[in-house]
Structure 1
């Protein structure tokens, strides 16, 4: 009897070896393609029951071309690169990793807030040249400022918990909270004032994005929304780079409409070295590493593989699925 086939499409810089071993111990044949190319994925995944995906796009025609596929198991929380409707129609499970890196990403967001507001890159640049140099914009006192949170899921809520002792006020927007009164009550207990999108834009001195990438949120921070932000505010993004219109943000930084931005994600990844937001002197950019810790590296690989194993053995994956075709 042939072994079930599991295909790793790509895994970026995370070592999949523990996941491969876990799958092999449970009777899977495992192959690792190391590609983001959907055509190659389709050509080399014939007969696969499982795709273990990093950032490779899986469009509808790949799913349609793999009739034996049962699960697409992701190694991230985001799933905008998967055609969920096609998976649902084909009876394919899609799982992600919700909650694994909540603490890490919220910590990274807080780190970007502090480094950006305190203008640490400026001081690092000048310390050996002019000890008494000062930036054009004097850092504000956080206890006198408002933190705005766009998106109040796990990461946004954790950042609110971390930031509550630092800011004078936290105001947040999340369209899904109306369906979750318990979560709304918990956020209010942390001191988060819930408000509409426009009010958060207008009142935040520091705006931090924690939204999924959807048709509605694509470039939600654009020239129009930036114009409604408080002049001289700060922008933080640890979610998805496509939430921001990059040229509009670069122009707002040039004009001082936004004082500075701290970004862990960009609209193109890996980003070219000459990307305007990497080269801008008013940004701090990190290479999508908000998730990174020894804990998450181990858990990402384990849970991604375990979702495949448990679906095969019990009919249900370990994590709550993004697509449940039952």
Structure 2
């Protein structure tokens, strides 16, 4: 029997739900790294599995300060995804560990899903489908439905996904406004989007779509106050992060018809609690955090996350480095 190759580096996947990890192995072998796949369920399990790892790849696991401080020789942590709110970036930077994400995967998928939820909400597709399956053939239960063309889409956040959403929405005849304090009006204008402040967006938009990272500043950005400032005919779409919306207040808004409806692909707590009051409403569509998914996007995700780790192990600066402050330390 041939001896197993002695690799220079060890990379640990703390948790993942993919069928195969051949794509990761292929990328990591370029850096002379072996791969260990785990399914850690707790902080202690992560610490035990990763204590001597040169790199980590995580999907859902929380990489806390305690985990980071236990890593003896870790050079980089990659997350399968765009958001990195599950990783203590400050602690990682202090310990000179690169944080890597996959910023350009699933742009088409999430923007498509955003448009799909918006269309389904405006046309009340789920409500009508449920009614027909219960033996009710009557369009009048869906009134009022308003024409999509010439509606105004308000984007909260104007990153890569929001830009794609703006292009696709304009193809349906929607005008687009956006709120993002970090993007200039001239940059937005290149995509035929008008920059506004949040108060104007809430007052004018017929559809509001959230495209923000989850930070201490954006958590519960949408509460009772914001819902009451929206049109009573407006819809809110969230394919970003669940806690951007305070669900208790969204339930009030939908129940009292402060707004017309909502389309969510994310929840405050995932999986969503089966007793969550939102599940009792017929003016909301909820999908199980699936917007990222296609067979093609999964392949891009797995390959790119591993590539970021491999770059770090080879002494390179990862092309998708999140915590650029680490370069100054």
Task: Give the TM-score category using the shorter length.
Answer: over 0.9
Alignment root-mean-square deviation, CA: 1.8
SS at match of 1:176: coil
* 8 A Cα contact 1:147 1:207, kept in partner: yes
**Aligned with 1:78 (options 80, 83, 93):** 83
Q: Are 1:132 and 2:138 an aligned pair?
A: yes
Distance 1:190 1:206 in 2: 18
TM-score using structure 1 length: 0.93
Distance 2:230 2:26 in 1: 50
| Contact 2:98 2:321 (8 Å CA) reproduced | no
Structure 1 unaligned runs (5+)? 179-183
* Match of residue 10 from structure 1: 15
Structure 1 equivalent of residue 3 of structure 2: none
Equivalents in 2 of 1:301, 1:201: separation in Å?
37
Identify the residue that residue 260 of structure 2 maps to in structure 1.
259
What do the CA deviations read for 1:69-117 (whole angstroms, capped 9, x no partner)? 1100111100111111101110000000101111111111000000111
Cα distance 1:323–1:16, how it changes in 2: closer, same or farther (>3 A)? farther
Matching of residues 152-301 of structure 1 within 5 Å? 152-178=158-184, 184-301=185-302
* Alpha-carbon distance change, 234 to 14 in structure 1, aligned in 2, over 3 angstroms: farther
**SS in structure 2 of the partner of residue 256 of structure 1:** coil
Say whether 1:29 aligns with 2:30: no
Q: Which moved more, 1:216-225 or 1:35-44?
A: 35-44
- 56, 60, 68: which one aligns with 1:63: 68
CA contact (8 A) 1:238 1:264 kept: yes
TM-score, normalised relative to structure 2: 0.92
CA contact (8 A) 1:94 1:321 kept: yes
Q: Which residue does 1:310 correspond to in 2?
A: 311
Report the equivalent of 2:156. Answer: 150
Q: Are 2:81 and 2:105, in contact at CA under 8 Å, matched by a contact in 1?
A: no
Residues 238 and 290 in structure 1, CA contact (< 8 A), matched pair in contact too? yes
Q: 1:14 to 1:81 in 2, by over 3 A?
A: farther
Query: Number of paired residues?
Result: 321
Which sections of structure 2, spanning at least 5 residues, go unmatched?
Answer: 1-5
